[in-house]
Structure 1
Amino acid sequence: MRFSVFTASTPEWSPAQAANALAAQGWDGIEWRVTDQEPAAEPGFWAGNRATWPLRGLEERLTEIARITRAAGLAFSGLGGYVPSRDRRNVERLLNATAVLGAGRVRVTMPPLGGGRYPELFDATRRDLEWAAERAATYGVSVLVELHHRTIVASASAAIRLVDGLDPDRVGVIHDIGNLVIEGYEDYLAAFEMLGPYLAHVHVKNVAWRPVGRRPDGSTAWAEQWSPLPDGQADLGAYFDALAGVGYDGWVTVEDFSTVQPLAERTRDNLAYLRGLVDRRRSAGPPG
């Protein structure tokens, strides 16, 4: 199992600072955020993120991306793209960039709920993924579908319906434990077994629900809040046990959007925490 960081969660660092800091802490790889973003007075996760590569002109930056990554001694766990699956021109550009970089896989985004009737969104996305699988094969890379709240694939059950029958070497699923606290939770082991060969990648963050007031009817209103990895509602120990139960030994990418700790301490402690979970399980040996 190898650990990387998604640079959506490292907004204060430039690409070179992110790569060098993560390598010095002992991370195995990096997952670059690739999207055109809004400027911001201060760096933030979603706007003004300094560790983001713009989609506009991406091809001219590939040499620099490769140089910064490899100079730090990091591997690519993939590319974190934000191109909708229906945007075939830009999906093709991401596939090409992934191949040139040797990054192996790239995420494309799924339609959000509310953009039309679910069955029609689902069927159109399936056609887009069929096309993407064919194009990915020509580049020797794969496309990733992330389980994400408030999209058409919030759960493993929805994702397996969407990708079933496609080549798992070309289309895979990112299981994201933090997103599933918000929507789509299913038993970890059952979800991994359900996905089978389509379980291609893992994202880790954590979330807690907090009361935020009262609704007009007097009931409690709740909202999700990003939490440090040990403090949210997702049971990461059980999660890694379930990953071991299906023999998963691929990339685990951290995208911690909590801000309790400064960035450098947060990334350092996250790596120690996750490696501790894995080491404790190995020390315990097989159940029974």
Structure 2
Amino acid sequence: MDHNEASRDGRDKTTLSNHWLSPQAHWQSRTDGQEDGLEPHDRLFPIAAFSGSLIEYSLPEAMRITAELGFDGIEIACRAPHLPLDISLKEVGALRERAQDLDLAIPALAGYVGYFSNLTEEECKAALEDVRQLIQIASVMGVPYVRVFPGGPNAFKAGDHHYEQAARHLRACVEEASESDVQILIEIHNQTLTEDAASAMKLLESTGDDRLGFIHDAGNMYISDVHYGAESVQELGAALRHVHVKDEKRIDSAGEEGSFMNLTRHGNEAFMQCRLGEGEVDHAPLLAALYKSGYSGWITLECAAPYPAVERLAYDLKEIQRLMAEVKGKCN
């Protein structure tokens, strides 16, 4: 996703039984081998593709590509053209059936909603309606997790009032989601209130509801220049529910395709989005820490490197499997 998306002040205006098969059970039921010789049991965790990495394709096409590449599931970007909030529930049901036909789980919906800490009370009411829409979509699709953003500014600039305002509205989100057997997840993301494990736990404490969970994202945490390995896994503990994986590196200046600028505690810095293993984010310690901790959730690959979409996802899938096999060999 756009690294400035998570902290923007605005928001994107964009009757089936729930959870037909839990994502973890879905993964465990698969026994098909991979062309590269790695079997599903070589994967430490089930692997999903982020549909936003295939945004130039329709969502049904993105699902087909994801399945053909050998992913276990797809995490859907909840914005046009993939899954806008004004989509009809009939269309949602058809997308669920499409995923079932392709034997793809949908472990999470990547929402672009919330941003409560930056909004007026009236805007917060409208934002809560967007979250309700997202929860309803997740319920119909049988998806256990939805992503909601807390808002900004960067954690190192935020005051207690930012956390308190976000927490007040997140409590309402969590309560409403629980009625539909859905959980709210906050992504650890640069330029938001939750840039590292410590600020995530501060938000959790402010919210006062351990049903709220977090998405670990080492790429985002690298941008913020914070710990993203074993220490972060330990600090998040049971609040860590989902994981995003992508690679990045610092560069001298932005301008080339795949580059972007972000405000960090070091000032305005330039970054390049990379294929896994070609940047500066070392995911091996994270994977080892997750494995040792007994993590039983999903990994979603979010590659946005300047390569053809299908090629970069295939590359990252092969690389994450290689890393997992390496970590498994060292840990066993």
Which TM bucket (shorter chain)? 0.7 to 0.9
Q: Counterpart of 1:144 in 2: which secondary structure? A: strand
Aligned counterpart, 1:272: 318
Looking at structure 2, the residues matched to 99 and 24 of structure 1 have their Cα atoms a distance apart, in angstroms, of 26
How many positions carry a matched residue from both structures? 263
Q: Is the 8 A contact 1:69 1:75 kept in 2?
A: yes
Aligned counterpart, 1:258: 305
Q: Counterpart of 1:191 in 2: which secondary structure? A: helix
Q: CA deviation at 1:187?
A: 4.6
AA matched with 2:49: V
Q: CA deviation at 1:258?
A: 0.2
Q: Is the 8 A contact 1:189 1:245 kept in 2?
A: no
The two structures have a TM-score, normalised by structure 2, of 0.74
Is 1:209 matched with 2:250? yes
Q: CA deviation at 1:222?
A: 4.3
Looking at structure 2, the residues matched to 148 and 221 of structure 1 have their Cα atoms a distance apart, in angstroms, of 16
User: What is the Cα-based RMSD across aligned positions, in Å?
Assistant: 2.1
Q: How does 1:76-155 map to 2 (within 5 A)?
A: 76-84=106-114, 86=116, 87-113=127-153, 118-155=159-196
AA matched with 2:100: R
Unaligned 5+ runs, structure 2: 1-44, 117-126, 255-266
Unaligned 5+ runs, structure 1: 37-49, 214-219
Q: How does 1:171-210 map to 2 (within 5 A)?
A: 171-183=212-224, 185-210=226-251
AA matched with 1:281: V
Higher relative contact order (CA 8 A, sep 6+): 2
> In the TM superposition, what whole-angstrom CA distance separates every residue of 1:13-62 from its partner, at most 9, and x where no partner exists?
211211111111210000111125xxxxxxxxxxxxx5x21112353421
Q: Is the 8 A contact 1:3 1:252 kept in 2?
A: yes
Looking at structure 2, the residues matched to 208 and 77 of structure 1 have their Cα atoms a distance apart, in angstroms, of 28
Looking at structure 2, the residues matched to 222 and 135 of structure 1 have their Cα atoms a distance apart, in angstroms, of 38
Aligned counterpart, 2:288: 241
Aligned counterpart, 2:89: 59
Q: Is the 8 A contact 1:154 1:184 kept in 2?
A: no
Looking at structure 2, the residues matched to 230 and 58 of structure 1 have their Cα atoms a distance apart, in angstroms, of 40
AA matched with 1:226: Q
Is 1:12 matched with 2:56? yes
The two structures have a TM-score, normalised by structure 1, of 0.85
AA matched with 1:171: L
Which of residues 273, 298, 301 is equivalent to 1:226? 273
